[in-house]
Amino acid sequence: MFTILGYEEAVNSCDCCGKSELKGTFAVQRENGDILYFGSVCVTRHTGKPAKQVRAEACAAVEERIRMATAEYVDCPERVAVEAKREQTRLQGISVGVAFRNATKAESDADNQTRALIAAKFGLKPYQIRA
Ligand SMILES: [Zn+2]
């Protein structure tokens, strides 16, 4: 039994047959927690699911992780702090440009770092978090 986790463009060889130079692979997880990457032929063979269903499940799995990562990120203290600092800076009459970036840099850096950590925890890129 495999759970389909998503489609990975960065992994280009199949862990089943060894075929390489693939456009991407499907990340799947075994019941014991191992994560493997299968090409489109092998993934249908191992899951017993047609390609269309595999693609749909991969999309749904990624969407679910984006939803969970976004939920965690919007409530994290670094996010709250940077929003507060930006608001405070705007109230001081600084709202754009270098002055604004400098005034909010410390909070912004901490926020970006946390965003990247949360994204990585869910197997996502920072830009995939929707907030
Ligand atoms: Zn294969």
**33 lies in some domain:** yes
38: CA distance to ligand 1 center in Å?
6
pTM, full prediction: 0.81
Whether residues 80 and 126 fall in one domain: yes
pLDDT of residue 63: 96
Whether residues 71 and 38 fall in one domain: no
- Does position 12 have pLDDT exceeding 90, yes or no? yes
DSSP E strand stretches across the chain: 2-8, 25-30, 35-38
**76 lies in some domain:** yes
Whether residues 29 and 82 fall in one domain: no
89: CA distance to ligand 1 center in Å?
54
Residues with CB under 5 A from ligand 1 (ion): 14, 16-17, 39, 42
Whether residues 70 and 112 fall in one domain: yes
Whether residues 71 and 119 fall in one domain: yes
Whether residues 84 and 131 fall in one domain: yes
73: CA distance to ligand 1 center in Å?
36
Mean pLDDT for the stretch of residues 121-126: 94
Whether residues 34 and 71 fall in one domain: no
Average pLDDT, the chain: 96
62: CA distance to ligand 1 center in Å?
22
- Does position 131 have pLDDT exceeding 90, yes or no? no
Phi-psi region of 21 (alpha: psi -120 to 50; beta: other; left: phi over 0): left
DSSP E strand stretches across 31-128: 35-38
* Number of domains, the chain: 2
Domain hosting 15: range is 1-49
- Does position 1 have pLDDT exceeding 90, yes or no? no
pLDDT tens readout for residues 55-106? 999 999 999 999 999 999 999 999 999 999 999 999 999 998 999 999 999 9
